[in-house]
Amino acid sequence: MKYLLGIDIGTSGTKSLLIDEKGKVIASYLYEYPLYTPHPNWAEQNPEDWWKGTVVSIQNILKISKVPPDSIAAVGLSGQMHSSVFLDKDAKVLRRAILWCDTRTKYECEWIMNKVGRKKIASLVANPALEGFTAPKIIWLRNNEPKLYDKVDKVLLPKDYIRFRLTGEMCTEVSDAAGTLLLDVKNRIWSKKMMDLIGVPYSFLPPVYESIDVCGNITEKISKLTGLKAGTPVVGGGADNTCGAVGTGVVKAGRVLTSLGTSGVIFAHTNQVKIDPEMRVHTFCHSVPEKWYLMGVMLSAGGSFRWFRDAFCELEKNEALKQNIDVYEILTQKASKVKAGSEGLFFLPYLMGERTPHQSADAKGAFVGISARHNKEHFIRAVIEGITFGMKDSLEIVKEQGIKIEQIRLTGGGAKSKFWRKLQANIYNSEVVTVNNTEGPAFGAAIMAGVGGYVFGSIEEATEKIIKVKERVEPEKSEAKKYKAFYDEFKSLYPALKKNFENISLLLKK
């Protein structure tokens, strides 16, 4: 029996997952680490924490599973997109990594868009300059920490930094590189034209490969440290979103993934490059060779629910401890007692600004429509509905690009709750399904390892063999009709409040 190891460098922790060639999970281990917010809208992590998490999780996987290291055919890597690791000529980390959810680069994004031009940037890299992307972070470092910038020799993404520590090789692959704003997404190569226009040295970037390519091997030093066999191949792997899509079988046209984690993601597979003329959704390279996807991103989806839980639900937390259940079970149960639309109470889930569709660091969260009739149950349901409306924004834009949605596959927190599964079916007005894999991006990374390690012939072959639909939920016509009206009202709220949000941001800077 051959085994495959997937490692996901996430925002909350590093997860390692071992599966066999039939897709059965043998062992998993999560190592958590802190996120630093030294200023408003800043988000940073220490790459050394990622590395410690990787080493500890691999050691524990081998200990728990008792699988012989020479039975592990290959290692696959997944990681948070966009986050930037700056290295000097000695490959030493120069500062804490600036993360995907960091929105300090508003000025740099405006400068890039003005410098390159909206039409040209679409033709060069298929996406607009947004605060979370990698290129604006490089420009921010140049503008604000010039002494450190002068020492930069390479810029790596999180999983690629871990690859370097595992193998000694500096490289990346197309799905993660697509989120840097420096990749020619259509041709799956670095865009030297884009780099020249904004003054990013070509030497900063490592070679780029496909996700299933072998991009290094476990070194003797790392073998002694982790227990993995020296020479074990490490494949390119993918961005967390493409690994999540592979791990749920979203590798064919017509399939869409909705992932509700800290952020919310709509991921729509496409066989051709499609670019939203308004660039409200992203066009990125899929980990499936010569395939692409459209992606909409909410910066604070499940994060909004967690914020509400932590800020207002101490009683429910205590009750969950007494009952030994997840506090979210209590919260969704309370939400289920309220009618669709929360009796006119709306929640705008823009706690960290917003990416899709508003592309604004100034966007703010808000409750709108509060009346004396509303109690905590209404507020809980409004939060869940607001998050799901925000996800629907991306789905509607995907449809506008001519992509036919035949099946929506759910993953993340929104897939675990029966109440939220039904709510999504009604708000999306579409059948939604869950699948037998709930392990997240590390599972997709392990599948890619299997392709690179010759256990599987292709990603498509592997997913058809391993991933099965578990449950189907159909929308209720009457509820879907109600939600259509509430969604139309939800869409009108951000434009009405946009100027107020911008003014609030200005007041906070004074």
Nearest to 495 by CA among 380, 393, 401, 424: 393
Q: In the numeric block, which tokens belong to residue 449? A: 């390892």
Q: With contact defined as beta carbons under 8 Å apart, do 445 and 78 qualify?
A: yes
Question: How high is the pLDDT of residue 41?
Answer: 84
Distance separating alpha carbons of residues 190 and 196, to the nearest angstrom: 11
Q: For residue 127, what are the CA distances in angstroms to 72, 110, 236, 304, 498?
A: 38, 14, 23, 26, 23
146 Cβ neighbours under 8 A, 6+ residues apart: none
Q: Spell out the domains of the chain, with CATH numbers in brackets.
A: 3-247+437-470 (3.30.420.40), 302-413 (3.30.420.40)
Q: Which of 240, 276, 362, 393 is catalytic?
A: 240
The number of angstroms, rounded, from the C-alpha of 329 to the middle of its chain's C-alpha atoms is 24
Q: Which positions of the chain have pLDDT values less than 70? A: none
Question: How high is the pLDDT of residue 509?
Answer: 82
Only one residue has tokens 């993995």, namely 228
Q: Which amino acid is at 46?
A: N
Q: How many CB atoms lie within 10 A of CB 243?
A: 31
Distance separating alpha carbons of residues 11 and 380, to the nearest angstrom: 25
Distance separating alpha carbons of residues 340 and 179, to the nearest angstrom: 36
> Which DSSP string corresponds to 364-381?
--EEES--TT--HHHHHH
Distance separating alpha carbons of residues 437 and 470, to the nearest angstrom: 9
Q: With contact defined as beta carbons under 8 Å apart, do 287 and 243 qualify?
A: yes
Phi, psi of 440 (to 5 degrees): 85, -160
Question: How high is the pLDDT of residue 439?
Answer: 87
Q: In the numeric block, which tokens belong to residue 469? A: 């639909």
Q: Is the pTM of this model over 0.75?
A: yes
The C-alpha R_g of the chain, in whole angstroms, comes to 22
Q: With contact defined as beta carbons under 8 Å apart, do 457 and 25 qualify?
A: no
Distance separating alpha carbons of residues 138 and 193, to the nearest angstrom: 16
Question: How high is the pLDDT of residue 40?
Answer: 84
Q: Does residue 393 carry a catalytic annotation?
A: no
Distance separating alpha carbons of residues 172 and 170, to the nearest angstrom: 7
Nearest to 99 by CA among 170, 47, 166: 47
Q: How many CB atoms lie within 10 A of CB 220?
A: 9
Phi, psi of 260 (to 5 degrees): -110, 90
Q: With contact defined as beta carbons under 8 Å apart, do 262 and 301 qualify?
A: yes
Only one residue has tokens 């400068």, namely 111
Nearest to 173 by CA among 31, 46, 284: 284
Listed in sequence order, the DSSP H helices in 17-157 are 47-65, 106-116, 118-125, 134-144, 146-149
SS3 105: coil
Nearest to 202 by CA among 298, 147, 252, 135: 135
